[in-house]
Structure 1
């Protein structure tokens, strides 16, 4: 007695002939399935085809699909590396055009996952022109032998946090009839009032205070943000004998304004020249 076959499997035509003969002999479907090692569903389908006078052969496309070959995988990987942004549907179409191989979009995704190629959301970064890259390389060459000197650099920057008008999607669970309920909505404001902006600095592992501000920033507004926090940070971090510290901020327009440069010069705050920032230069 054979064990019944579990899952979808192709049943040979000669076995279907045996099922037909046993059915015509009056054997029950359960006993036929147990004797021939097939599922009861298979015996039922054969019985149904006999009653409807249908052929016992499998319909076109009913058999198990052929598994992708190593050649298919290499061709798929080559197309994927050629353009990493193409969707699985586009890769499936290109496979058909390039070598006539028919792989569904679902199979394409599965094969890429098996090869370790997951789908990620691309990260955004400022555009770097050849001039920007040249300036940054020059900056790296000029300071490649620095070691403890980096502890005398006062690093500073601004950060902006979206509190209400966040760009990422928020999912909620509810019934279709609850689409107008308060939990189905996310508050949104206009005019940039949903954003919190902060300025901060650090040097040699010592963190400075965070200064919160709002609105647009020009040279005058920038000085008001840093004048108290920066001067107190310098006094509390560096002793009177250390005159080697320098201040660094990026090339944003408020930082390069005449008002800011004059204030830094009047306060005796030395500024290290930073490589050009593509997003702000």
Structure 2
């Protein structure tokens, strides 16, 4: 293994849209969704919408077909394949749901790349309709985090658990990629040896930009799948070269990212003096 744990958000990070919105919009239920959105938490609304779709004759097969055509940047799959080939431990922490994520990853042929998927429960019940349940049952108790996390999931707590599951002797470095406000809390949990990759001009970027010094991790932004690939592979290869510097280049099987001199370093978010 490379000694690097790469944690991906899913929506607008691996896929290039919000998977919940994609399904609702493609099946023609946008207006109802928007009418109900002010009345309940997002996660609860998605469960209700799945009930409504089922009552209107929308089948699981219909939902799967929609998920199979979800937009994804053409450089994302090659990037994920390279990260996996380099021996990184790849995980997902997402506020989508397990059914959507597994359906998409299996369709793309990359399900086995990920050692762990942390997300809301999504399963087909005995009536043949999709149920979407919260990762954290906020009806029983609050997760207690106040860092803009939705009631059903604190990604920061998930990162804490992942970090605690890795022995300090391993000294693994984390790279976290995300776009939304919910990705801000885990960015605060990263260590000074880690890297945060926020999507530029998305909510998590805006939150970090307010005071980048709150983060211990080094910050590297990205704007689309092409830049995600460039920045992520640069960070991984740089760290692997450091780790394997004792080997001759002929013995090292690293797939080094080729960049021009002007692109040699990914852009780091500037901080106030």
Pick the TM interval, shorter chain.
Answer: under 0.3
Q: Indicate the structure whose relative CO is greater, using CA pairs within 8 Å and at least 6 residues apart.
A: 2
When normalised by structure 2's length, the TM-score is: 0.28
When normalised by structure 1's length, the TM-score is: 0.27
Q: As a proportion of its length, which structure holds more strand?
A: 2
